[in-house]
Amino acid sequence: MAQVERAAEHYTSTGVHPSKLLMWLFLGSDCFFFGSLIATYQAYRGQSLVGPHPHEVFDIPYTSISAFVLLMSSLTMALAVNSIRLGKMGATRIWLLLTAMLGSVFVGGQVFEFTTFVHKGLTLGVNLFGTTFYVLTGFHGAHVTVGIIILLSLLFASFLGRLTPRQAMTVEVAGLYWHFVDIVWVVIFTVVYLLPY
Amino acid sequence: MATFGRAVGVTPRPGFWGYLWSWLTTVDHKRIGIMYGATTLAYLLIGGLEALLIRLQLAHAESRLLDPDTYNQVFTMHGLTMIFLVVMGFNSTLFNLVVPLQIGARDVAYPRLNAFSYWMFLFGSILLNLGWLWGQAPDVGWFGYAPLTGVKANPGLGPDFYVMGLQALGVSSVAAGLNFVATIINLRAPGMSLFKMPVFSWMALLTSFLMIFALPVLAIGLIEVMFDRLFGTNFFNPEAGANPLLWQHLFWIFGHPEVYILVLPAMGVISEVLPVFSRKPLFGYPFVVLSGVFIAFLSYGVWAHHMFAVGLGPLANTVFGITTMLIGIPTGVKIFNWLATLWRGELKFKTPMLFALAFIAVFTVGGISGVMHATVPSDYQQTDTYFIVAHFHYVVAGIVFAVFAGVYYWWPKYTGRLLDEGLGKLHFWLFFLGFNLTFGPMHLLGLWGMPRRQYTYPAGLGWDFLNAFQSAAAFLMALGTLVFVINAVKSLRSGAPAGDDPWDGRTLEWAIPSPPPAYNFAEIPVVRYRDELWARKYGPHGERAHAPGTSRRPLSGHNPGGGDGRASDNPGHTDGHGAHIHLPNPSYYPLIVAFGIALGMFGAVMLRPVEVGGLGPLGWALVGLGTLITVYGSYGWSFEPAG
């Protein structure tokens, strides 16, 4: 991620930076990963033979707050991209760190939520709801975690002098990934938590 | 961590180990393509041996050569090997060897990602085959229907190797797909608009799109099976209310685009070979290209034709029957355009041309039987019989004709030597006859009711003669393949020198030396015509009757920077104007990352209990080790200067 590949400085047929093109293509591919999991969730919606059922475990206000935190991290991410474009490395570092922290709050919230649910009897294998819920939201949580690692790596690279305003594209591409993961959460939150069962 | 950022192997090391190291760390698309090719050939021989075992077992009734368990493993591994390792491996071979040359690029967009795709392919193929060591290779068919893959029905390691092997191969394919879409969209030579691009590169682009959008669906299905087996989830557990048909939907939403992942590159090969050996431009280029686009789109809307007999209801069956028949239209458009390309051409029946023509013939037969079971009532009669086996061998095994057409066509470009025409024709006729005599009678056996996937059959049902006949005929194909291997070895040792352009080619790869120098093009060409090289040789409208003498064509400047152009992976060649050509540095990180991922996946297989051959919780140690290696490799990769 941190290194812009060779072809970057050279001619491209479309004028689009290769890293950006690759990330867009990857996100297109990732849509099909999430799409298949969401389709599985929907196919088994309300099909559980035994409880716990969604309304018995969900705490909508709690999850709304963590969703809000994740959405706010898109704002800080956009500010990080803007800062490095303007050449302000100090501000870039602050926004990167803040984005990673907001992401961590979200993942921490998810861990807490999972723990609570397990205490209420919703395990991976107890019913179809547990199976599909944990694998779908866990897959998303893993994406956020990878995003946090990327952001912290960028921060680390900036202290080593390996991330300078010349590599602004790298931050922008990481930002694309981050925004995508946020948008997917909007879909998952709506489908899993908000739509009535 | 201190090694991050240090370039490796810039100075070539002497001796065997240095040579080996140069291959292990190569990021050159040509060397990666050659490694793909060698791996693919090895698996063609292995998959072929598995096929011969199947035919020996079925040669007579009540045979006990293989027990039912072994038979299940052999036919499953034959299918998986031929589809994922041979045809897909061959596609990757040709994408690497041909696409950058055809579009006038010095390499792919992401050379290290390309090396990663190869290593992941190699390790994935090993993982898929590793079950043989436990005597528990996958035995669930290449489609792995749930709940047969569940831990209750199948407590052994077979399905675990199936899941993890395919997952690793999927990682390879998605990475390769991303890379080749990025390459073809972004690295075309100046002036080469999409509709001036050679058809093979077009089909490579479409195939790459299909790979990045189809394999994720399989990946999720495999993750669900893995969770069911390892962590007790209920995705395909009917006792918890699950519907195992979910697997069939996920699998075939991947599986039908997969069929076009296999066949579109073959159609691309044909579209290159026919014009060259007819000395005519491809007839109806835009129609051939757009038919490919149409096929790629439609391939996502036909998956349930694999499921007509599972009871989706008349409405769904009708809709999917109609969409399936629709695919016959663009396919027919292609076939008629190929025939029109031949019409009044100066046909030269060299070996690549023979294989190309045979592909059209057998693919048409397979296409027609495909339309037959797109008709739902007809499919009810044919499903799960040898009629289906005949159909998909005429389509998928028919692709092997395009494979050989491509091998004979591009071999001289990469070896600098021709394959022997006499041996080539012998290979062709043995293979062509063997193919039709083996798979042709299966249509009859299927209509007579012989079921697929059964390890044997009782005598006296009228199936004995044809089965024995087919088994004998299968050895003709094996013999043909053996002739090819002999031809290849002979060519490498003492083949006639090919020159830059042995076939009087039309596209850019024939404008550069054979074998191509490390930097491919001394000068990146500016493209003005669809058949650029042809236009340069004979004029844009064919106004010159003869190519301009023996003088070097503008693109073929040999070794402009001095030294041996083949000492690849060495940066610092100069182009014709004395400017530096930068080549990417070699890197061992792609190998490390691929190894880490594969080791972690092997660890996941080993999470199965000790009683069935796993390591139990000790498997987590392997998973952890694999993860550490992957993380180490990824950071090294990210911070290494790419060149």
pLDDT number for residue B255? 95
Domain containing A88 equals 19-46+59-194
Give yes or no for A16 touching B (CB within 8 A): yes
Give yes or no for A7 touching B (CB within 8 A): yes
pLDDT number for residue A1? 36
Task: Domain count for chain A, please give it.
Answer: 1
Q: How far is CA B154 from CA B77, B228, B344, B477, B612, in A?
A: 16, 12, 59, 34, 10
Average of per-residue pLDDT values in chain B? 91
Whether residue A8 lies inside any domain: the answer is no
Query: In sequence order, which ranges of B67-198 are alpha helices (DSSP H)?
Result: 68-80, 88-102, 111-129, 158-186
* Nearest CB to A3 within list B111, B231, B640: B640
pLDDT tens-digit map of B189-214: 999 999 999 999 999 999 999 999 99
Mean pLDDT of A71-93: 96
Give me the interface pTM, i.e. the ipTM.
Answer: 0.93
Of the pLDDT bands very low, low, confident and very high (cuts 50, 70, 90), residue B583 is confident
Whether residue A177 lies inside any domain: the answer is yes
* Residue of B106, B112, B249, B306 marked catalytic: B306
pLDDT tens-digit map of B228-282: 999 999 999 999 999 999 999 999 999 999 999 999 999 999 999 999 999 999 9
**Does the pLDDT at position B7 exceed 70?**
no
Measured between beta carbons, the chain A residues lying within 8 angstroms of B177 are 29
pLDDT tens-digit map of B499-550: 999 999 999 999 999 999 999 998 899 999 999 999 999 988 877 776 655 4
- pTM comes to 0.93
Residue A150 burial by CB count (10 A; 0-12/13-18/19+): exposed, middle or buried? buried
Whether residue A80 lies inside any domain: the answer is yes
Instruction: Tell me, yes or no, if B260 is annotated catalytic.
Output: yes
Mean pLDDT of A18-35: 96
Long-range contacts of B8-16 (CB under 8 A, 24+ apart): B8/B585, B8/B586, B8/B587, B8/B588, B9/B569, B9/B585, B9/B586, B9/B588, B10/B571, B10/B585, B10/B586, B12/B567, B12/B570
pLDDT tens-digit map of B424-471: 999 999 999 999 999 999 999 999 999 999 999 999 999 999 999 999
Instruction: Tell me, yes or no, if B305 is annotated catalytic.
Output: yes
Mutation target to probe the A interface, by most A beta carbons within 10 A, among B186, B300, B527 is B186
Instruction: Tell me, yes or no, if B62 is annotated catalytic.
Output: no
The residue length of chain B stands at 643
What is the rounded distance in angstroms from the CA atom of residue B347 to the CA atom of residue B291?
25
| Contact assignment for B638 to A153 by CB distance below 8 Å | yes
Of the pLDDT bands very low, low, confident and very high (cuts 50, 70, 90), residue B13 is low
Measured between beta carbons, the chain B residues lying within 8 angstroms of A153 are 635, 638
DSSP B1-20: -TTTT-----SPPPHHHHHH
Question: 10 Å Cβ neighbour count for B359?
Answer: 26
**Does the pLDDT at position B333 exceed 80?**
yes
**Does the pLDDT at position B94 exceed 80?**
yes
% of chain A surpassing 70 pLDDT: 95
pLDDT tens-digit map of B123-137: 999 999 999 999 999
Whether residue A89 lies inside any domain: the answer is yes
The residue with tokens 């970057």 is: A8
Cis peptide before A52 (omega within 30 of 0): yes
pLDDT number for residue B562? 37
pLDDT number for residue B547? 64
Question: 10 Å Cβ neighbour count for A91?
Answer: 15
Whether residue A27 lies inside any domain: the answer is yes
| Residue A98, CA atoms < 13 Å, CB-side half-sphere | 18
Whether residue A53 lies inside any domain: the answer is no
* Residue of B256, B506, B530, B608 marked catalytic: B256
**Does the pLDDT at position B579 exceed 70?**
no
pLDDT number for residue B438? 97
Mean pLDDT of A13-29: 93
| Contact assignment for B240 to A32 by CB distance below 8 Å | no
**Does the pLDDT at position B560 exceed 80?**
no
What is the rounded distance in angstroms from the CA atom of residue A21 to the CA atom of residue B181?
9
Instruction: Tell me, yes or no, if B334 is annotated catalytic.
Output: yes
Mean pLDDT of B160-166: 97
The residue length of chain A stands at 197
| Contact assignment for B188 to A131 by CB distance below 8 Å | no
Whether residue A156 lies inside any domain: the answer is yes
pLDDT number for residue B390? 97
Name the DSSP class of B515. Answer: S
Measured between beta carbons, the chain B residues lying within 8 angstroms of A28 are 212-213
pLDDT tens-digit map of A119-139: 999 999 999 999 999 999 999
Among the listed ranges B41-50, B486-495, B633-642, which one has the minimum average pLDDT value?
Answer: B633-642
Return the CATH number at A109. 1.20.120.80
Question: 10 Å Cβ neighbour count for B1?
Answer: 8
CB B580 within 8 A of CB B562: no
Catalogue the E-assigned strands of B368-407.
none
**Does the pLDDT at position B561 exceed 80?**
no
Measured between beta carbons, the chain B residues lying within 8 angstroms of A124 are 227, 231-233
CB B277 within 8 A of CB B352: yes
Whether residue A64 lies inside any domain: the answer is yes
DSSP A153-169: HHHHHHHTT---GGGHH
| Contact assignment for B212 to A5 by CB distance below 8 Å | no
**Does the pLDDT at position B73 exceed 50?**
yes
Question: Which residue is closest to A127 within chain B, CA to CA?
Answer: B240
User: Taken in order B469, B470, B473, B478, is the CA torsion positive or negative?
Assistant: negative
Measured between beta carbons, the chain B residues lying within 8 angstroms of A135 are 223-224, 227, 233, 235
Mutation target to probe the B interface, by most B beta carbons within 10 A, among A4, A20, A29 is A29
Question: 10 Å Cβ neighbour count for B284?
Answer: 17
CB B383 within 8 A of CB B251: no
CB B269 within 8 A of CB B406: yes
Of the pLDDT bands very low, low, confident and very high (cuts 50, 70, 90), residue B556 is very low
Question: 10 Å Cβ neighbour count for B2?
Answer: 5
Cis peptide before B147 (omega within 30 of 0): yes
- Among the listed residues B140, B149, B144, the one whose alpha carbon sits nearest the alpha carbon of residue B255: B144
pLDDT number for residue B235? 96
CB A71 within 8 A of CB A99: no
% of chain B surpassing 90 pLDDT: 88
What is the rounded distance in angstroms from the CA atom of residue B418 to the CA atom of residue B546?
23
pLDDT number for residue B555? 56
**Assigned token pair, B530:** 């669809």
